[in-house]
Structure 1
Amino acid sequence: MLDMQTKNNGGLQIGIDVGGTFTDFVAFNPRDDSLFFYKEPSTPDEPARALIEGLSGLLEALGLGPRDISVLMHGTTIGLNAIIQRTGARIGLVVTNGYRDILEIGRCRMPSSFDFHAEKETPLIPRSHVLEIGARFSAKGEPTEWPEQAQIERVGAALSALDVDAAALVLINGYANPELEAGLAESLSIAAGGLQITSAAAIWPEIREYERTLVACLNSYIQPLMVRYFDKLRTGLRAREVEAPIIVTASNGGSLSAGSALKRPVETILSGPASGVMAAVRLAQSTGMAHIITFDMGGTSSDIAIASAGAPELSTRTDVGGLPLVLPVVDVSAIGAGGGSIVWVDKHGILKVGPRSTGANPGPVSYGHGGTEPAVTDCYLTLGYIDPAAFLGGRMRLDAQAARDALSSIARRIGLDGEENLAARAAEGALAVTTAGMASALFKTLAQRGLDPRGFALVPFGGAGPTHATLLAEEVGIPHVIVPPAAGTFCAMGAAAADLRRDFVRTLRVPLNPPNVCTLVNVFDVLQTEGEAWLTAEGGTREGVSFERAVDMRYVGQAYELRVPLHDLTIDADTIVEAFHREHERIYGFRDPDASIELGTARLAATGKTPDLPVPTLRSSDVPATPKGTRNIFQDGVWVEATVYDRAALAASQSISGPAIVEQPDTTVVIRSGWSARVDHAGNLHLEGRVI
């Protein structure tokens, strides 16, 4: 439990984002309203070690001790990586009699209708670990079949004999009676010797058996890993005398207490990327930008999200590791490579980048940790974008010659002739390949929404985002780039400022008419009561609580619903009907006023507001920015002289013309020729250039 007011008790509020290459920290000190940023190389074999060591390094840099910390806000990709790499726990599944093949059947869809060699995704649980039980409900939630105690004991013993780490329970129409399904899960747990069993209806009571099954299975799949991780983390923190509570960021852009996260780890799968998007939305609101595209380029991959009118897009369906996830998440799309993505040549002599990554260990060739394959970071170094002596604020020196040698080998393999600028030409080609792939994915995402990139500002973050931003902006046609002050640790910044938030759902599947609208109102009242109880248990205060309502709707006969927000509307039949028609018209271009409408799933988001982090105010200056020096960068096939600036020395209202480099401890901003930059009073760097 965390009292949200403890963030104002004078102690450090620390946001943490554990990535595949670096673990990032942002510390807010309410005593002087200061922010401090820190990066530590990740330790993929034991993620908690990098967090603990980085926390010690951060405290040492601040001259503070472990008792000066009031709360740790933690974003994690442990669950996501386990699902993608299929390294989760051994789990079992209990289903209604006759539904043992639910994971194999799925939605009866192949990955590609035109690829005769395509194979379906391997089920998360082998069929031998799926058991059946005589329990099911009617569509109204009434038990039509229920097991005797002897059957419960028999199934529990069979589960125990499977020697699994956890299990899930899914009953037909269980969404209509989540309390009774949860009770059966508890009885099975006792019969199985205390095995942790996730009830699908208790964790997510929404219609569609296959998707609900996957939510429960994924929860069980990553729960033992999360428990082990947090046990090890707590032990390590106690050894360093850190007793501060841990809050975990969630996929919906909010946060949960560690206790809630361990009960429902499936809600944290996309927590890291979501935190960065939420931080970018706050930045956009403070700068008056209505429409932004976030560009998060870290060590392993690059992600984008779109925010319009000051709010991020939320999706109620996404794919994780090839599996559909129906929980509300900030809509983030992977679009390409990261700083650690490997540059390689295929058997036809074609230059490729990714998807393999060097990770934190051994890392790019220039790290000097034994890596032999060049990565995107080696390209930045070879092109002069990065100072080898200033990486991570000078804490880590890069080997520029090793990067050049590795890229020269790539150049010869793709047929580049001559010796002049061989490595630089290969590096520029690799970045062109990387950028083209990103632009293609971004164009697709924008086209699906009918959006023009010229109406958006690009907000880059992550260690490599600001370095690559103008390359991507030129390729896509985005004329405005906003680089936040703490761009390299921006996801950790988002974690530090995350509100408490949890989503609640209940499926109705009834015609839209006045009596059923009354039912909908009653369901929202029940969900709000659940949300208030959860916020109270988490330590939320009444003053900062808010609720957002929405309902999934469709014309009768349609296969899928549209999510219609209701939080600013009076909930009556006429208002809801018009809201649905308007949303259907916006998405599909038409409305059908004569068609019957069906109410699907009621959705309520309960939010507990946490104190905002301070927005810094820079001093203004009419004096031109003073450079710290110059260095040559390779651009469009030639070396040009770029002016180098220290970002910490820049003042509000100062402007910079490209080509230029702006250095800061957590990242490097590249301002290409034809671009200019100006500093606003919050320290954001606004890059503007001509794009075609």
Structure 2
Amino acid sequence: MTTAVPLMARIGIDVGGTFTDLVAAVPERGLVVHHKEPSMPADPSRAVADGLAAILAQAGLRPEEIGGITHGTTIGLNAIIQRRGARIALVVTEGYRDILEIGRSRMPSSFDLYAGKEEPLVPRDRIVEISARLGPGGVPVAEPDAPELDRVAARLRAIGADAAAVLVLHGYTDPDFEEGVAAGLRARLPELPLMASATVWPEVREYERALVACLNAYIQPLMRDYFGRLESRVRALGVPAPIFISASNGGSMSLRSAAERPIETVLSGPAAGVAAAARLGMGAIVTFDMGGTSSDIAVTVNGSPELATHTTVGGLPLIVPVVAVSAIGAGGGSVVRVDDQGVLKVGPESVGAEPGPVAYGRGGDRPAVTDCYLATGLIDPATFLGGRMRLDADAAGKSLADLATRLGSAGDGAAEEAAHRVASGALRVATAGMATELQKIMAQRGLDPRLFTLVPFGGAGPTHAAMLADEVGITHIVVPPTAATFCALGAAGADLRRDFARSLRRRLDPTSAARLADILGELSGQARAWLTEQSAAAAGSSLSYSADMRYSGQAYELRVALDPGRFEVAAISEAFHAEHERLYGFRDQHAPIELGTARLGVVGPVAELPSAAVRPGTGRPTPHGRRQVLLAGAWHAADVHLRTTLGVGDAFDGPAIVEQDDTTVVVPPGWSGDVDGAGNLHLHRKA
């Protein structure tokens, strides 16, 4: 008698403003199922629970057959942007009470003398000074005694904060010192969540490190409350599987780790999609995530998403590593308008999900990019979202014709033609703006977009991808099978990942190289201990080493990958010279090199996700229909294919439209399409 092998299905969840996307992947069955559940902004965990119950039924799974759930959320990000976090306090070294007020002493806008300054995250009356300080070499300059700790604790108690952070000057040089100060305050205030900045992120730059600690404290109570509700609802469904949270670096972490360090999850949504695209195995790719409000890109080289160590969240600098995602332009809901000078513009304002584009019929009266897709025939009003939502093409056309009147291009009895001209022009304006930003971003990284494959996802990404590719010279596009739920798929397959850092700020010599090796060794131990806490097997884990370096006198540092075990001066120097030469075209062999921050990344891989089962094709698929589409100012008769009827090996030429229940793929003239064994749709521009 044989015993059935238990299934280990993985569930990925991505909570959006309009829909909560879920993907169930069952490797043993080769099954991938996706589901969209209307979001509930008042309590996102309800939509997660309802969607989880629905996808279990859809996939034919029992609760005990789930091996893991990975959930991406924007709750922390929205709390920061809307300034709806906890009431927090900050404890700082004596004399640095104005650290958040002063910041970097930069104007919000160099061209606007009336631009208001960003409000500090912590008001000055909730910042408490303490007699604790380290020198730049890590030697204590001032240490708080018991009466000093009693005084600070009494002040924090009087403030009535929900959480607090501790920042000691030069705390990154000796995180244990700053943690000792925090521990002394915790002993006196056991009810107050309190974390040291060097424990959250021990990197140089006091202002940015203070913000990381404050932001972590700011969203921690909110996130812990949400995670508690989430776990309760999941367990109420009878699901015993561990719950993981998507991280901003493209990986994931346990629910407990996310509750302790929620700041590492604030940009998890876009990062999960980039991580999923990297697993397609397409080499050098540019991901293109076009949603309702904006379009985002990220670059992946050698199968690994590019990480940034500096980004901005809600107008505040954030220095923890995140997948380098850049906003490059309009989304499907971006408003098409005519400015005061009579020029056609697209965005940056969005109509949002409510009321949405004019074609949605929800009261919107301003045309958006989606209305332009409709007017040009790129999307069918009867098959939008698989036919579950019919669009009003006449209303979209009328709103665009009204814009034509403002542009002075509408003639008598030519309202429909005028609407077509405006829609086509708006799409070209949006594409030109995207292309300009994409080329600028690629040039800053020393990369040529023509050597990359474009991977579009999001509701509008596959619709606009070929237009963007034509503009920048990309000749290969790969559209995954479940493009509109791609971020949820990325969450389902996200590896466990965390990044560690420690700043040195020393000139490179044998002594500092040895110190770098010691620090990387300490970080390795922390990384392995973290993996153990996540209940992950360390056998399949991998570590990556890098350091921020610069030539002496330079204002900015380069992040340079280091070979494990080769931390001698010659190897470190050559790695930096080579990276500097790659980016800037030269090296300076005689200039001193300065070490900035040592960095280590740890990855604990999860099981590979299966590809969706795709039947063999006939080679030349029969079109489902045919319709007129307006592309680049000219009308074309395009074949219409259904994604569900395309099989492996099927190939066709543009102009063509491929419709699926969550998006529409546009294949312009001069392009061809074919389906690979995993169901990915490849578009190639003909020579």
Shorter-normalised TM range: over 0.9
Q: Establish whether residue 62 from structure 1 lines up as the match of residue 55 from structure 2.
A: no
In structure 1, the gaps of 5 or more residues are: 1-7
Secondary structure of 1:421's aligned partner: helix
| Residue equivalent to 1:384 | 377
Selected match of 1:571 from 552, 567, 579: 567
Secondary structure of 2:416's aligned partner: coil
Q: Establish whether residue 226 from structure 1 lines up as the match of residue 219 from structure 2.
A: no
| Residue equivalent to 2:421 | 425
TM-score by length of 1: 0.93
Selected match of 2:659 from 638, 660, 663: 663
Q: Equivalents in 1 of 2:570, 2:519: separation in Å?
A: 19
Q: Establish whether residue 399 from structure 1 lines up as the match of residue 420 from structure 2.
A: no
Seen in structure 2, the aligned counterparts of structure 1 residues 267 and 10 have a Cα distance that, compared at 3 Å, is: same
* Aligned partner letter, 2:665: V
Query: How far does residue 234 in structure 1 lie from its aligned partner after superposition?
Result: 2.6
* Aligned partner letter, 1:104: E
Deviation readout 1:58-82 (Å, 9 max, x if unpaired): 2333344444433211112222223
Secondary structure of 2:33's aligned partner: strand
Query: How far does residue 331 in structure 1 lie from its aligned partner after superposition?
Result: 1.0
| Residue equivalent to 1:474 | 470
Q: Establish whether residue 353 from structure 1 lines up as the match of residue 346 from structure 2.
A: yes
Secondary structure of 1:420's aligned partner: helix
Seen in structure 2, the aligned counterparts of structure 1 residues 313 and 243 have a Cα distance that, compared at 3 Å, is: same
Q: Do 1:550 and 1:603's aligned partners in 2 also have CA atoms closer than 8 Å?
A: yes
Q: Establish whether residue 583 from structure 1 lines up as the match of residue 576 from structure 2.
A: no
Secondary structure of 1:489's aligned partner: helix
Q: Do 1:21 and 1:300's aligned partners in 2 also have CA atoms closer than 8 Å?
A: no
Q: Equivalents in 2 of 1:21, 1:336: separation in Å?
A: 20
Q: Do 2:211 and 2:318's aligned partners in 1 also have CA atoms closer than 8 Å?
A: yes
Q: Do 1:21 and 1:299's aligned partners in 2 also have CA atoms closer than 8 Å?
A: no
Secondary structure of 2:256's aligned partner: helix
Q: Establish whether residue 246 from structure 1 lines up as the match of residue 239 from structure 2.
A: no
Q: Equivalents in 2 of 1:349, 1:49: separation in Å?
A: 47
| Residue equivalent to 1:3 | none
Q: Do 1:17 and 1:25's aligned partners in 2 also have CA atoms closer than 8 Å?
A: yes
| Residue equivalent to 1:686 | 682
Q: Do 2:446 and 2:583's aligned partners in 1 also have CA atoms closer than 8 Å?
A: no
Q: Equivalents in 1 of 2:373, 2:41: separation in Å?
A: 24
Query: How far does residue 346 in structure 1 lie from its aligned partner after superposition?
Result: 3.5
Seen in structure 2, the aligned counterparts of structure 1 residues 511 and 13 have a Cα distance that, compared at 3 Å, is: same
| Residue equivalent to 2:409 | 416
For the aligned residue pairs, the C-alpha RMSD in angstroms reads 2.3
TM-score by length of 2: 0.93
Q: Equivalents in 1 of 2:155, 2:302: separation in Å?
A: 53
Q: Establish whether residue 182 from structure 1 lines up as the match of residue 172 from structure 2.
A: no
Listed as ranges, the matches of 1:9-408 within 5 Å are 9-192=6-189, 194-283=191-280, 285=281, 289-408=282-401
Selected match of 1:649 from 645, 649, 654: 645
Q: Equivalents in 2 of 1:571, 1:439: separation in Å?
A: 41
Query: How far does residue 640 in structure 1 lie from its aligned partner after superposition?
Result: 3.2
| Residue equivalent to 1:485 | 481
| Residue equivalent to 1:605 | 601
Seen in structure 2, the aligned counterparts of structure 1 residues 63 and 311 have a Cα distance that, compared at 3 Å, is: closer
Seen in structure 2, the aligned counterparts of structure 1 residues 92 and 582 have a Cα distance that, compared at 3 Å, is: same
Deviation readout 1:442-474 (Å, 9 max, x if unpaired): 121122123322222211111110011111112
Q: Equivalents in 2 of 1:681, 1:89: separation in Å?
A: 49
Q: Equivalents in 1 of 2:369, 2:22: separation in Å?
A: 23
Q: Equivalents in 2 of 1:675, 1:421: separation in Å?
A: 26
Selected match of 2:525 from 529, 533, 543: 529
Seen in structure 2, the aligned counterparts of structure 1 residues 609 and 350 have a Cα distance that, compared at 3 Å, is: same
Secondary structure of 2:195's aligned partner: strand
Secondary structure of 1:152's aligned partner: helix
Q: Equivalents in 1 of 2:284, 2:210: separation in Å?
A: 36
Deviates more, 1:567-576 or 1:474-483: 567-576
Q: Do 1:43 and 1:360's aligned partners in 2 also have CA atoms closer than 8 Å?
A: no
Seen in structure 2, the aligned counterparts of structure 1 residues 229 and 406 have a Cα distance that, compared at 3 Å, is: farther
Secondary structure of 2:28's aligned partner: coil
Query: How far does residue 160 in structure 1 lie from its aligned partner after superposition?
Result: 3.1
* Aligned partner letter, 2:420: A
Q: Equivalents in 2 of 1:476, 1:442: separation in Å?
A: 8
* Aligned partner letter, 2:364: G
Deviation readout 1:255-311 (Å, 9 max, x if unpaired): 11111011111111211111111111111x2xxx43211101112221001122322
| Residue equivalent to 2:671 | 675
In structure 2, the gaps of 5 or more residues are: none
Seen in structure 2, the aligned counterparts of structure 1 residues 185 and 531 have a Cα distance that, compared at 3 Å, is: same
Deviation readout 1:534-581 (Å, 9 max, x if unpaired): 100101112211111112223333333322211356222221122122
Seen in structure 2, the aligned counterparts of structure 1 residues 343 and 69 have a Cα distance that, compared at 3 Å, is: farther
Q: Equivalents in 2 of 1:226, 1:102: separation in Å?
A: 26
Q: Equivalents in 2 of 1:397, 1:68: separation in Å?
A: 37
* Aligned partner letter, 1:383: T
| Residue equivalent to 1:626 | 622
* Aligned partner letter, 2:296: D
Query: How far does residue 46 in structure 1 lie from its aligned partner after superposition?
Result: 3.3
Q: Do 1:22 and 1:299's aligned partners in 2 also have CA atoms closer than 8 Å?
A: no
Query: How far does residue 589 in structure 1 lie from its aligned partner after superposition?
Result: 2.6
Deviation readout 1:90-143 (Å, 9 max, x if unpaired): 322111110011112222222444543444433222222222111111223332
Query: How far does residue 393 in structure 1 lie from its aligned partner after superposition?
Result: 2.5
Secondary structure of 2:29's aligned partner: coil
Deviates more, 1:515-524 or 1:598-607: 515-524
Q: Equivalents in 2 of 1:381, 1:420: separation in Å?
A: 12
Q: Do 2:619 and 2:649's aligned partners in 1 also have CA atoms closer than 8 Å?
A: no
Seen in structure 2, the aligned counterparts of structure 1 residues 369 and 227 have a Cα distance that, compared at 3 Å, is: farther
Deviation readout 1:598-629 (Å, 9 max, x if unpaired): 32221111111111112356454454112111
Query: How far does residue 498 in structure 1 lie from its aligned partner after superposition?
Result: 0.8
Q: Equivalents in 2 of 1:59, 1:428: separation in Å?
A: 43
The alignment-based identity, stated in percent, is: 57
Q: Do 2:144 and 2:181's aligned partners in 1 also have CA atoms closer than 8 Å?
A: no
Q: Equivalents in 2 of 1:112, 1:350: separation in Å?
A: 24
